[in-house]
Each structure stands twice: as structure tokens, then as C-alpha cells.
Structure 1
């Protein structure tokens, strides 16, 4: 009997469906702030697009490091994601003597959401009504004017440090666990200054609870009508924040692509674009590779900025 052997392919292993259960989207700052707001805007429509609930989980503390680290340690199965910002993803690791994680090695870039603008705001009790007026007041009262931040090593902590360095002033840093808590104490006058996102700051400015002195962007913004830039006020300080979705390292490419396509579809919705625009966020859509390249450029830039400024914290 003649036996013929054929190299027939074995059964093709089907890729498991995704998602089949709720997804957790971690926001590393407290409810009510800019990061939390962006997370909830995305989560609502993403739940519809993916056919599974996307739950926002606020894991706060350590300038955003607690939330980010929890995602870095999670299983890379697409069910635990981070609504990350430049603050905890890039600035904090750059400024920490012992970084809690590596933005380039410990996370998988999924989708950029957009860019945000920061604005220097003051409590109405501050006499100054301009950047130069603030500098004069601060120089006359070294260490007396306080500024709030989202936490040690956060973007707006660094912005305060850079402002002091460039203006020759001495301000008192008061760290909080998020922008909502910082804004609450700003409004009450417990702290006098803040380098806030326009998302949080401008409604308070428009209601007369705070006053805007200068934008930390390259040019003026529609999100803050009539507010000059710090550069116009004589301080060469220009920083644009960002927000995006990342996951733990080692995520399957198919899941990354599925999430990227779903998020970009949500971002293309006119109502979502308008909602972000009203909050001072300029929507950006990118592939995972493009977002990864952007994060790499941010890491390189902030590493150099922190080195030049000589700012390091424990």
C-alpha cells in the first residue's frame, strides 16, 4: 500500500473576541478636573462604540504616579487603560530622582486625544492684573505668594518652577491631588496663584472667581478670549499639555488597533469635538505609532528642560 503524506496546515487558532467584558479607564487625578472630564467624555461614547461598558476609575496621588503605575502593572489584555497626560507620563518621570516608571518602556501607546492649554490665574485678592505686575508684587514679597499644583513633579509644579527661574521670583509651592482640589482652594483664596488648564480655569475666570494673567501657549487661544500669552508679558515660557490613551506594555497589536480605531471614530464625532473645544482641548487623531513617536519627542524635550532647569525631587 502506498501511503502519501501531505503537509496540510493545522487548524487556524481564532483570535479571541475583544472586548467581552467591561474596560477600566484609569484617570490619575481626582474627579472634577480636566483629566477626569476628558476621561468621562471618551468613556461614554467609547462604551457605545465597543459594545462594552468603559468605567472611569480615579486613582489619585503622588502627582498622578499612583494611577499610572497601576496601569503599568496591569495585565496587557486591553481591559485596563490609562487616560494619560504629559504630567504623569512624561514630566513626573523626568523630574523624579527615582522615576516610578518609564513612559517609553512600561506603556503601550494607543491613541492621542488632544492638546491642552495652561493659563496663569490669580485669586482676585492678588493686586496684580498683568504678568509684569505679578512679577513686581512677587519680588517685593519673596516666598509670600503661593501657587497650587496637581502634585509634586506635575506639569504645573514645573511650570511654577520655570516661571520663578525666568522671572527671578520666589513663590510658595502648595501641591494638591488634582486640579479640582487646587481650583477649590484657589477660589477660596487659600492659595493665590495657579498654572491651570483652560478647561478648569476659564469658567472660574468668566464668573469672576479668578482672574487670568497669561497663557502658557505659543499663541493666544479661543478658549481664553482676550488673555495674552506669557511671552507677550515678557516671560519666554511656552508649554502645551496633552492627553491620550495608553495601556500596559505588551498589548496585542490587534487590540491596540481595535481601540485606536474606536477612539478615533469617537473623536471624529462633531459633538465630541465641540465638547472638547469648549473645554480648551484641541482634538488630535493619530495612529499608535504616531502617538508613540510623539511621546518619545516629549520625553526627550522634558528630560532636557528639567536638566537645564536643575529641578529634581525625591
Structure 2
């Protein structure tokens, strides 16, 4: 009896494998839904629309953007996690959904490792360190020295509790050994006027929203949050030149539900990498403040694991909570 059950189980496994292989071989035969877990018009949405057009050409189908915002990206991410792993539902995940979210919200309805299939790391959006024009500091080192001479007297703005903007500032404080008070705003756009007038002393903002104020002469940029100079703002030195290893990027990654067949993963990964190597796509992303990347699924998984561990440590050490 046990032998018969074993043979039946093996046969079922072989049938399932054959069915998956057959499905992947003809893939895709219809449009693919790309869930964006943030509102239309935001950076993640614009990135998705730029990438999806070229990816659709490579795959021979259409990628349909489906915005499912809410709960810091958790609503759309949960929908993707619970989708059928047939290659027709993908997710554009970010630092918020897969690195910060699990630490800020331990009771997420999905597990970022167990419930998803990594496909490709597709881009990074670095930030810049902004100060008012009347700040006495003209370099990162000078700002750190200034903060150490004025403990508790300086403050930093963020886009809200538990956001990448706050975490970047807390990472900076931790590595620099300075005490700076947090002032949360409902978005960095609301913080910029107070930064310009000097009501707040520093803000770690995204490149596309921060650099226009620098180039207009209303703010001063001291450094960029990438390990090396960013091609998007090559004139800015990395903060890591002063604080070795300092890095904070919003990454973007393509995921599928758990159990997505390997052949499909490879097909989507190839289409993504080829699309991100296209000069037109790269130019459009640069204007969004995003550095396009190419990767294997394993490289995405490794990146996210390291990033999640880093932010979890900061969140725990600094006792950070979400709004």
C-alpha cells in the first residue's frame, strides 16, 4: 500500500511539473497585471508605467498597471501574495513594502520572504542631505561638527513616522553620533518651506524633489545617500565619504506570488533586464530620479534581506513606530 501511495505521489508531482513547464513554455498568452501598491502619479507608479511599456514589448503582451494603495503598500502587496502563481500577476515592491514594513508593522498579512517569488531588482532612488542656505555647514563633516557643538538644539524634518526619510536621518544620527530632534510632516513637500526659512535644520529628501530647490539657489545640498557618486547628481559627494558604509536608497523590485514557475521567472527577469538596458528607458528613469539596475532573482533576495535587517536594527534601537 505504501509503495502504491509513493508511486501515485511521484506521478502527481511529475504531472504538476509537466503542467507548469507547458504553461511556462507558451507564456504569456494574455495581458499581465502589475500591481503598484501606491497611488497613481507617485514615483513608484511613474516608474512602473515607464518600465511596463518596454517590458510588454519584450514579452509580447501588455502590462496593465493596477494601483492598489493603502496601509503603506501592504494592501496591494497582500493582493499580489495571494494571487495565483501563473505569471499574470506581478508586484512592484519597494523598500517600504518589503524592508521597512515588516519591522514597523509586525502583523502584516503576508510574509515578505515566504509568500513571494523574487524576480528582479529594477531600480534605486537615492536621497540627498539638504540644509538651509543660512546653515553654517557647507559640508557633511561641518554639519556633524556643528551638531555636536549644539546637542539637542537642531532638528530634522521627515515625511512622517516610520518613513524612509525618518529612518535615513536616524541612520545618519546613529553613525555620526549626534542628537537631533525629529519633526514629522505629512510629506516632504510640506517640510521644504520650513527648511528654506530655517525653521528646520536638515532634511533627507529624494533627488527629484530636492534638487530643483538646490539648483534654484533656495537650499544647499551637502551629500548623496549612495555609496558612490550618483550619475543623477555627480556634483554631490557621498555621505559615505565621511561616514563609511552610510547608504540609504529606496529600491524597487519585481516579485511574483510564491510558487511562480522558474521558467516564467527567467522570462520576466530577462525582459526586465533588457528593458532597463534600453537608453530611452534609462533616460526617462533618470528624470524621475531613479537609477535603473539589472539583477538575478537571487541578487534581489540578497539585497532585500540585508536592507530589511539594517532597517529593523535602526527601528528597534531607536524605538521607531509608524503613523
**What TM-score, normalized to structure 2?**
0.75
Query: How many residues are treated as equivalent by the alignment?
Result: 297
Confirm or deny that 1:20 pairs with 2:25: no
Q: Pick from 163, 166, 175: which aligns with 1:157?
A: 166
Pick which of 101-110 and 280-289 moved more. Answer: 280-289
Q: What's the counterpart of residue 6 of structure 1?
A: none
Distance 1:167 1:70, change over 3 A: farther
Report the 3-state secondary structure (helix = DSSP H, G, I; strand = E; otherwise coil) of the residue aligned with 1:90. Answer: helix
Deviations 1:64-113 (A, max 9, x none): 33332232233322222221122321122134444453221121111111
Q: Pick from 278, 284, 292: which aligns with 1:283?
A: 292
Q: What's the counterpart of residue 62 of structure 1?
A: 71
Confirm or deny that 1:85 pairs with 2:97: no
Pick which of 248-257 and 50-59 moved more. Answer: 50-59
Q: Pick from 170, 184, 191: which aligns with 1:186?
A: 191
Whether contact under 8 Å (1:118, 1:196) holds in the other structure is yes
Confirm or deny that 1:311 pairs with 2:322: no
- Cα distance in 1, alignment partners of residues 211 and 291 from structure 2: 15
- Cα distance in 2, alignment partners of residues 201 and 78 from structure 1: 37
Question: 1:138-287 residue pairs with structure 2 within 5 A?
Answer: 142=152, 145-149=155-159, 152-165=161-174, 166-174=176-184, 176=186, 182-189=187-194, 192=200, 193-208=202-217, 210-232=219-241, 237-287=246-296
Q: What's the counterpart of residue 40 of structure 1?
A: 49
- Cα distance in 2, alignment partners of residues 278 and 73 from structure 1: 34
- Cα distance in 2, alignment partners of residues 174 and 138 from structure 1: 22
Relative to its length, the structure with more helix (as a share) is 2
Whether contact under 8 Å (2:171, 2:314) holds in the other structure is no
Q: What's the counterpart of residue 75 of structure 1?
A: 84
- Cα distance in 2, alignment partners of residues 260 and 159 from structure 1: 30
The alignment yields a C-alpha RMSD, in angstroms, of 3.4
Q: What's the counterpart of residue 120 of structure 2?
A: 111
**What TM-score, normalized to structure 1?**
0.77
Distance 1:234 1:104, change over 3 A: closer
**Structure 1 gap ranges (5+):** 1-9, 177-181
Deviations 1:100-141 (A, max 9, x none): 532211211111113332212246687765544487479859
- Cα distance in 2, alignment partners of residues 244 and 174 from structure 1: 27
Shift, 1:247, TM fit: 1.6
**Structure 2 gap ranges (5+):** 1-14
- Cα distance in 1, alignment partners of residues 273 and 245 from structure 2: 34
Distance 1:219 1:258, change over 3 A: closer
